[in-house]
């Protein structure tokens, strides 16, 4: 019976419902099944896996068609996923796609990204989940290649599924013709020169986040940053179990 039903697909993002990226994603993914969009009502970039517990969350149904429902949500990307699956969808979806993000979520950005946070949340709940990002922050960039690769990976996930506890992080370089898809590892690195100091109109000091990514392993051809720099779409499987298993033995001696 299940196989005859249309696939149910949850779409979200962290740039908000009005962003070009999510609208291109909805249009591209629509042929794959029944789409429910639950996305923030405004920008939530850099929200990581934040959840809203001190305030209530509001949800507004904006569109209701046969195979497309769109809800705006006042919460974070993770709130959107939680409330979508717990309250708005008729059943657990067959797939969650988060994006298309305006800007790269490669390397250590997985830790800060709301787009990736949403995919990790789908994964925690047991839904095959995929985050898709384009390495360009501009509002009206061309999402064609990103959408093409996003759809292709989404189809593979719908067909083959994903193991429990694992989701996917896909980044696409902002070039007219991508060289292909490479399966990669998360690049090790950190940001430097992270703040600009400026003064508000009253002359008081404020700090504004900025920064440059420092790649700690630039020569590693397995890394997602290497793939992107060399014109490939980079696909990194992520897991939600953050335990550093190989360090457990070393600190067993600390046990009391």
Q: How far is the CB of 2 from a copy of itself (least distance, A)?
A: 22
Q: Which of 182, 225, 226, 228 binds a copy of itself (CB under 8 A)?
A: 182
Question: Segment 100-159, which members bind a copy of itself (CB under 8 A)?
Answer: 108, 110-112, 114, 117, 120-121, 124-126, 152-153, 156
Q: Which of 24, 34, 69, 82 binds a copy of itself (CB under 8 A)?
A: 82
Q: 78 near 49, Cβ under 8 Å? A: yes
Q: What is Dmax (Cα atoms) for the chain?
A: 67
Q: Which is nearer to a copy of itself, 53 or 66 (CB)?
A: 53
* Residues near a copy of itself (CB under 8 A), total: 77
Q: Which is nearer to a copy of itself, 32 or 240 (CB)?
A: 240
Residues in contact with 144: Cβ distance below 8 Å, sequence separation at least 6, in sequence order: 24
CA distances from 103 to 15, 83, 227 (A): 10, 26, 16
User: What x/- string results for residues 29 through 58 when contact with a copy of itself is judged by CB under 8 A?
Assistant: --------------x-xxxxxxxxxx-xxx
Q: Which of 183, 218, 230, 231 binds a copy of itself (CB under 8 A)?
A: 183
Q: How far is the CB of 236 from a copy of itself (least distance, A)?
A: 6
Radius of gyration of the chain (CA): 19
User: What x/- string results for residues 206 through 235 when contact with a copy of itself is judged by CB under 8 A?
Assistant: xxxx-------------------------x
Q: How far is the CB of 141 from a copy of itself (least distance, A)?
A: 18
252 sits near a copy of itself (criterion: CB under 8 A): yes
Question: Can you list the positions of beta strands (E) in 59-116?
Answer: 59-64, 68-73, 95-102
Q: 167 near 238, Cβ under 8 Å? A: yes
Count of alpha carbons within 13 angstroms of residue 218, beta-carbon side: 4
Q: Which is nearer to a copy of itself, 26 or 118 (CB)?
A: 118
Q: Which of 161, 163, 218, 231 binds a copy of itself (CB under 8 A)?
A: 163
Three-state DSSP class for residue 172: strand
User: Closest Cα partner for 18 from 186, 181, 140?
Assistant: 140
In angstroms, rounded to a whole number, what is the distance separating the alpha carbons of residues 22 and 37?
9
Q: Which is nearer to a copy of itself, 74 or 142 (CB)?
A: 74
């Amino acid at each position: 019976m299940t196989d005859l039903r249309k696939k149910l697909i949850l779409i979200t993002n962290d740039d908000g419902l009005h962003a070009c990226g999510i609208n291109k994603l909805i249009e591209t993914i629509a042929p794959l099944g029944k789409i429910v969009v639950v996305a923030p009502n405004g920008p939530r970039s850099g929200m990581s896996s934040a959840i809203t517990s001190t305030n209530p969350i509001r949800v507004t149904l904006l569109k209701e068609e046969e195979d497309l429902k769109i809800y705006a949500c006042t919460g974070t990307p993770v709130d959107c996923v939680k409330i979508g699956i717990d309250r708005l969808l008729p059943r657990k979806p067959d797939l969650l796609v988060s994006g298309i993000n305006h800007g790269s979520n490669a390397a250590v950005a997985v830790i800060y990204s709301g787009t990736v946070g949403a995919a990790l949340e789908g994964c925690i709940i047991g839904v095959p989940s995929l985050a898709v990002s384009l390495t360009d922050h501009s509002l009206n960039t061309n999402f064609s290649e990103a959408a093409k690769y996003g759809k292709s990976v989404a189809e593979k996930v719908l067909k083959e599924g994903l193991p429990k506890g694992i989701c996917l992080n896909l980044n696409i370089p902002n070039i007219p013709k991508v060289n292909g898809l490479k399966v990669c590892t998360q690049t090790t690195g950190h940001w430097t020169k992270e703040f600009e100091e400026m003064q508000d109109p009253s002359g008081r000091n404020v700090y504004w986040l900025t920064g440059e990514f420092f790649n700690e392993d630039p020569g590693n051809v397995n890394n997602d940053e290497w793939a992107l720099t060399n014109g490939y779409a980079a696909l990194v499987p992520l897991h939600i179990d953050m335990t550093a298993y190989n360090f457990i033995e070393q600190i067993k001696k600390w046990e009391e």
